[in-house]
Amino acid sequence: MNVIGSAPGHSLTYGADVVFTVTNTGGATAAAMTFALSNASNFDFDSGGTCVSGSTSLAAGASCTIKVRPLASADATYSGNLTVTSNNSLSAALSGTATKLNPVSLSIAATAGTPSAMNVTGPGSPAYGSNVTFTITNAAAADYTSAALGIALSNTTNFQFNGGTCTTSTTLAPGASCTAVVRPEASANTSYSGTLNVVANNAPLISLAGTAVGWTVTINALVASNSYNLDFRTLLLNAGWNGSTPVVGTVTVNGGVVVGSTSTSAYALTVQGAFPPGSSLALVNNGYIVGAGGAGSSTSLASSGSGEKGGNALYVQIPVYVSNAGVIAGGGGGGGDNSGGASWVAGSGGAGFVPGAAGIASPWQQVPNVAGNVGTLTAGGSSAQNPYDDSMGGAGGNLGQAGERGMNGGGEAGIAVIGNKNISWLAYGSILGPVE
């Protein structure tokens, strides 16, 4: 009782009927018969038989028929029993084989390379990653040859075919296979994904994914007017950098422009912070990068002291190329006061941007006391002199120099460069003050 398919994909296929004849061989009318099949998955009663389960009662010598047909939805061997029960119980063994029912079953798998890591390393427009080979196979158990294969990529921006044996006219017999070779491509830093689809029969697909790195963006930031307390990274962000793409970033200070600090406790320019791997930074200075000048020492009956230390100029904590055609300088130290004579003279401010403030001399009784002088961008304030006794306060230091002492000491010069180990010098230029 066999089933032979004629095409794949049928949910249920039937074989030919087998007719069973039930006969009453006794001498009296039999009780009403019942009949049943032990394997309803592969056997079924068909119409046309004359026996009716639960009602047919055969007279002596009479007979009736039962029609049974096999059924299957996949290739298999099967068996069962037909049982007829009346005054006694009868059983007939049933068996059969189903063939030509297994449909085409296509599968796709990566056989060289990793489809979840189809990465690209730039730069390039576009740049390509390594090939991944996919093998498309029709199952050996299939009873039919596949339809002509269609293979397609859902994302043709980042994936492309690059060879293989599968074509649009390829059909696969049971157990046969062909290959499709796919490579990733990209023109910028990004992550991407897609699928490789087989457009035939059961239409299998496989996921693809990758990441592209290695591209940079060029950003040029220009400092065209006098400014205070600048940060290299912030300048690039303000010039259009997105903060995440590797950047070839250049900050240029125009000739005649001064980058300074509003306080001796803050740097004129910092180069620090996080940059993506692959970034390259350059600082071009055609103007001035200078610390604030230290204030001259003030003096009074209650107190006197040394001049203030000059401010620091350039702070570098990450690798950067520096081309200096201008001046990088620590602020001049403030001058010390002179409170040892018959009159008091304050110290003068150091050079810088902002320049150091002049020290103040508070009056005492009728003695004429003298304030110091304010510094300028490049020169410290000159020594103040009391005409009463010619006593002198300390002059402010020029850029990169300590302030002069009066009776009390002058302030130290600000540091020109902190983090020199992180700098690749393309042009050293004029550096005034300590370099650390």
Which residue type does 201 have? Answer: N
- Residue 419: CB partners within 8 Å, gap ≥ 6? 271, 314, 315, 316, 317, 436
* pLDDT for the residue 24: 97
Give the separation between CA 247 and CA 4, rounded to whole angstroms: 69
Instruction: Go through 270-304 and write b for each residue having 16 or more CB atoms within 10 A of its CB, e for each that does not.
Output: bbbeebeebbebbbbbbbbbbbbbbbbbbbbeeeb
CB of 360 within 8 A of CB of 347?
A: no
Please state which architecture CATH assigns to domain 2-99. Sandwich (2.60)
Q: What does the block give as tokens for 61?
A: 């010598």
What would you measure as the largest C-alpha separation in the chain, in angstroms? 162
What's the mean pLDDT in 205-229?
Answer: 97
Q: Using alpha carbons, select from 162, 350, 5 the residue that is nearest to residue 358.
A: 350
Distance between first and last Cα of the chain:
97
* pLDDT for the residue 53: 96
- How many residues make up the chain in this entry? 436
Lowest pLDDT segment from 55-64, 100-109, 131-140:
100-109
What's the mean pLDDT in 58-80?
Answer: 94
* pLDDT for the residue 301: 57
The string of pLDDT tens digits covering residues 17-35 is 999 999 999 999 999 999 9
Three-state secondary structure call for residue 341: coil
- Confidence bin at 55 (pLDDT 50/70/90): very high
- Confidence bin at 73 (pLDDT 50/70/90): confident
* pLDDT for the residue 365: 52
* pLDDT for the residue 342: 57
Give the separation between CA 219 and CA 156, rounded to whole angstroms: 30
On the question of pLDDT at 112 being above 80, the answer is yes
Looking at residue 370, the DSSP 8-state letter turns out to be: B
The string of pLDDT tens digits covering residues 363-379 is 655 456 788 899 999 99
Q: What does the block give as tokens for 67?
A: 């029609």
| Strands 89-99 and 177-186, sheet pairing | unpaired
* pLDDT for the residue 80: 97
Q: Is the peptide bond before 276 cis (omega within 30 degrees of 0)?
A: no
* pLDDT for the residue 240: 96
Which residue type does 312 have? Answer: N
CA atoms within 13 A on the CB side of 280: 8
Q: Domain 106-213 adopts which CATH fold?
A: Immunoglobulin-like (2.60.40)
On the question of pLDDT at 302 being above 70, the answer is no
Q: What does the block give as tokens for 57?
A: 């009662």
The string of pLDDT tens digits covering residues 321-344 is 999 999 999 999 999 988 765 567
* pLDDT for the residue 305: 78
| Strands 106-112 and 132-138, sheet pairing | antiparallel
- Residue 4: CB partners within 8 Å, gap ≥ 6? 13, 15, 98, 99, 100
The string of pLDDT tens digits covering residues 146-193 is 999 999 999 999 999 999 999 999 999 999 999 999 999 999 999 999
* pLDDT for the residue 284: 99
- Residue 298: CB partners within 8 Å, gap ≥ 6? 304, 305, 337, 346, 347, 359, 360, 361, 362
On the question of pLDDT at 416 being above 70, the answer is yes
Rounded to the nearest angstrom, the gap between the alpha carbon of residue 362 and the centroid of all alpha carbons in its chain is 63
Q: What is the mean pLDDT of the chain?
A: 93
Which residue type does 369 have? Answer: N
Three-state secondary structure call for residue 4: strand
Residue spans in the chain of domains classed CATH 2.60.40.2310: 2-99
Give the separation between CA 350 and CA 334, rounded to whole angstroms: 5
Q: Using alpha carbons, select from 95, 178, 195, 169 the residue that is nearest to residue 133.
A: 178
Give the separation between CA 362 and CA 369, rounded to whole angstroms: 7
Whole-number Cα distances in Å, 26 to 83, 169, 345 = 19, 68, 149
What's the mean pLDDT in 201-206?
Answer: 96
- Confidence bin at 10 (pLDDT 50/70/90): low
On the question of pLDDT at 406 being above 90, the answer is no
On the question of pLDDT at 9 being above 70, the answer is no
